[in-house]
Amino acid sequence: MTKVDLKRKGRKLIIKIIFLLFLLLIWWLLYKIHFWPAWLFPSPRQVFKTLIKGFANHTFIWGILISMRRLFIGFGFALLVGSFVGFLLAKVKIINETVGFLVLGLQTLPSICWLPLALLWFGLNEKAIIFVVIMGSIMSMTIAMESAVKNIPPLFIRAGKMLGVQGWQLFCHVIFPAILPSFITGIKQGWSFAWRSLMSGEMLFITLGLGQLLMIGRQLNDMSQVMAVMLVIIMIGIIFDKLIFGVMENSVRRKWGLK
């Protein structure tokens, strides 16, 4: 990494820190002028004390672990099945004409609508929440894969075939690299849908998890806990975006000469 890159990253970091301090200042000012009652709008200090307490007594740690377990299982299934179905939609005309419109219709259905069915089919257990996560993200992954495959430049396919690449090798060396930029964007979108579905399920289902910790804070009128859990959810999202999806995107961009 060159000195110019280090200076650029350092400048971006300073800008982000200043912006966060500015948000904290606005938060503190709203608390001081009593724009809302203190029990509805706690101070930054109260929220951070609750945040530290939640990690110290392991409540937040267990909530994170349980929620992430459900998320990985549900989103992992949605990623595998949705990618396979999306590829078939892009390549098989009869499937596209029959299953395609159904996928588009189900994509518009809010994930929370699946919860009553999940409770009736699976009961009050872990499977119900995982089912909601799957249904909340699988359509997004299907559409992402379909769009990525359909947007492959035909020239790439023709060039590969002219070089003697056929069948599985054509997929591994031509199709898969070509769909990666669009597909990674689809994975990020599917991940966000899975997060929202998980929180919806946990908030309405009595079981330990970040969503349920939010509801406990609401029921106890403890807004500092609600806001502390919201900060945890935001931080998890930022960490995954920067350390996983961001690294994947940067790697693909470098290979394609876009960075």
Q: What local confidence, expressed as pLDDT, does residue 7 receive?
A: 72
Q: What local confidence, expressed as pLDDT, does residue 73 receive?
A: 93
- pLDDT digits over 180-196, tens only? 877 888 888 889 889 88
All structural domains of the chain with their residue ranges: 43-255
Report whether pLDDT(253) > 80.
no
Decide: helix, strand or coil at residue 92: coil
Q: Are 182 and 256 in contact (CB under 8 A)?
A: no
Rounded mean pLDDT, 146-170: 76
Q: Are 139 and 106 in contact (CB under 8 A)?
A: yes
- Options 1.10.3720.10, 3.90.1170.40, 3.30.1600.10, 3.40.50.300; CATH for 43-255 is 1.10.3720.10
- CA proximity to 150, closest of 94, 89, 239, 104: 89
* pLDDT above 90: percentage of residues in the chain: 18
Output 43 or 38, whichever has higher pLDDT.
Answer: 43
* CA distance linking residue 113 with residue 223, whole number of Å: 27
| Local confidence band at 2 (pLDDT 50, 70, 90 cut-offs) | low
Q: Are 74 and 198 in contact (CB under 8 A)?
A: yes
- CA proximity to 255, closest of 191, 189, 184, 190: 184
Question: If you write DSSP's letter for every residue of 147-175 in order, what string do you get?
Answer: HHHHTS-HHHHHHHHHTT--HHHHIIIII
* CA distance linking residue 246 with residue 240, whole number of Å: 8
Decide: helix, strand or coil at residue 54: helix
Q: Are 138 and 78 in contact (CB under 8 A)?
A: yes
Q: What local confidence, expressed as pLDDT, does residue 74 receive?
A: 92
